[in-house]
Chain A
């Protein structure tokens, strides 16, 4: 569907995007992650034809980017970052303008589409309001309606949930998931849990380079299995508990952390030894503590989260460069 090869973009001397190549298949939801200024927006802007890359090629459904720009643009629905719209227009007038430009000439068809969109994006109450008076979240919704106007095959959303309230975030995620069954969606976000919940595939960009590009599950598998056990105890003394835990295995690394509740004692237990890394120590811990009269309030194993993978990838890169 979308083939990107060695995409590079300079702003004067600054290399914002550095040699990015990827292929996005039809029906995929791709999450673009990265710290601020990593090059997410620049990449998306090149895909939508707003920026011209300094080098590299983009093919979308077999069409070449600068050459067939108009055709490609009519296949893509794009929501720019923070949804810049015409502030002095009414929502309805704006949507009508967009529909006309995107080639929905028939009045009936336009009207039907507006009804559908106002249903999906919840616009019916604000159709007659000037865009300047809308809150950020509502503007975002108008922007999403703009992007979905012609029911495009590819949706590119730049931080679609930023500035929305928690209810709206869930709504937008649901919209993305529903549309994503048939459509190809690329969206960028800072919120990792969001990417984890909605994306089939995640690409992490750092300093303009693609540092990871895989399915969410694979990313987690590929990363180090350095698991962490969280333990909270009631009725135990700090020194006693620590020495007891240490007696389970010499390679265990025990750290006291601030407990959630006052009378609790909380530990983070990691294993530094390579051999016993894959061993689940939870049962050992339980058996040991069963011998005492302490109460286990919490005992959980935290597997590698996306957040950790993200931090590792973006930090390591920072050290090298």
Chain B
């Protein structure tokens, strides 16, 4: 447990030592800010529904960029060897890196809290969907972080890790948009696998244990897969 914390803190600090953190955060804020506010006054609704509906697709590009370095960089530089020969288990490393990335996405979401505060001045904001939306966003980000972590563990090349991560996240995001092409018998199953469906539920303010369970399962499956990859690569 202590090892996980040490690794997570180190990885989290690492983001802010390099310019990556600032670039990614700026990019995220510019893109979400523009897409959200460009239509905000046209609809004239005092809620964040449009902001949250943007998140799955933006996260599927931003989060792999955050997670791509987690393993790939270490493998490339060789510090992976130093890390693995210290008294830490594979689980400690995978979880430490996962928490660091998730914490970073939380830090990235933090400035967007200004939106609900700003909107509350110009209209009545229903707190339920906002709280649900942020909770869902954290779960979604955590799930995508675990996907990105897995992609990063596969290769020593950061660009490949980014592309694999993007593909995985993007697939989960658009799966429920593809239902039209699926045979009717498996529609509900496919819908359940897609991340968007669960995220939309939570961001409406309905916190259902099934949706929470979905995100926790995705996180578990991909951290476990990361563990297997680490084990097999030695």
Contact = CB atoms under 8 A, between A and B. Distances in A.
Contact of A88 (B14, B80, B87): B14
User: Is the contact region of chain A dominated by helix, strand, or loop, or is it mixed?
Assistant: loop
Contact of A101 (B6, B14, B77, B79): B6
Contact of B17 (A50, A89, A101): A89
B52 to A, nearest CB: 34
B10 A103 contact: no
Interface of A: 45, 48-52, 69-71, 73-74, 76, 78, 80, 82, 84-89, 97-98, 100-103, 105, 146
Contacts of B80: 84
Contacts of A80: 78, 81-82, 85
Contact of B85 (A76, A86, A88, A103): A76
B234 A73 contact: no
Interface of B: 2-3, 6-7, 10, 14, 17-18, 77-82, 84-89, 234
B85 A101 contact: no
Contacts of A78: 82, 85
Contacts of B84: 49-50
Contacts of B6: 97, 100-101
Identify which of B79, B81, B87 gathers the most chain A CB atoms within 10 Å of its CB.
B87
A45 B14 contact: no
A73 B82 contact: no
A88 B18 contact: yes
Given A86-B79, A101-B3, A50 B87 contact: no
A94 to B, nearest CB: 9
A50 B77 contact: no
A73 B18 CA distance: 30
Nearest to A48: B85
Given A97-B10, A101-B3, A101-B6, A45 B81 contact: yes
B82 A84 contact: yes
B8 to A, nearest CB: 12
List 10 tightest A-B contacts by C-beta distance, closest first.
Answer: A84-B78, A74-B87, A73-B87, A48-B85, A78-B85, A100-B6, A80-B81, A84-B79, A88-B17, A70-B87
A101 B82 contact: no
Contact of B78 (A49, A82, A101, A146): A82
Given A73-B87, A84-B81, A100-B6, A52 B234 contact: yes
Contacts of A103: 87
Given A50-B85, A88-B17, 19 more contacts: A45-B81, A49-B84, A50-B81, A50-B84, A50-B234, A52-B234, A70-B87, A70-B88, A70-B89, A80-B85, A85-B82, A87-B77, A88-B18, A100-B6, A101-B6, A101-B7, A101-B86, A101-B87, A101-B88
B85 A49 contact: yes
Contacts of A52: 234
A53 B185 CA distance: 48
A140 to B, nearest CB: 13
A131 B87 CA distance: 22
A73 B81 CA distance: 12
Contacts of A71: 87
A78 B84 CA distance: 11
B218 to A, nearest CB: 28
Contact of B82 (A70, A100, A105, A146): A146
B79 A85 contact: yes
A73 B86 contact: yes
A78 B83 CA distance: 11
A28 B114 CA distance: 64
A97 B2 CA distance: 12
A146 B87 CA distance: 13
Nearest to B81: A80
Contact of A102 (B10, B79, B81, B87): B87
13 contacts: A50-B81, A50-B84, A70-B87, A70-B88, A70-B89, A71-B87, A82-B78, A84-B81, A86-B77, A88-B14, A97-B6, A101-B3, A102-B87
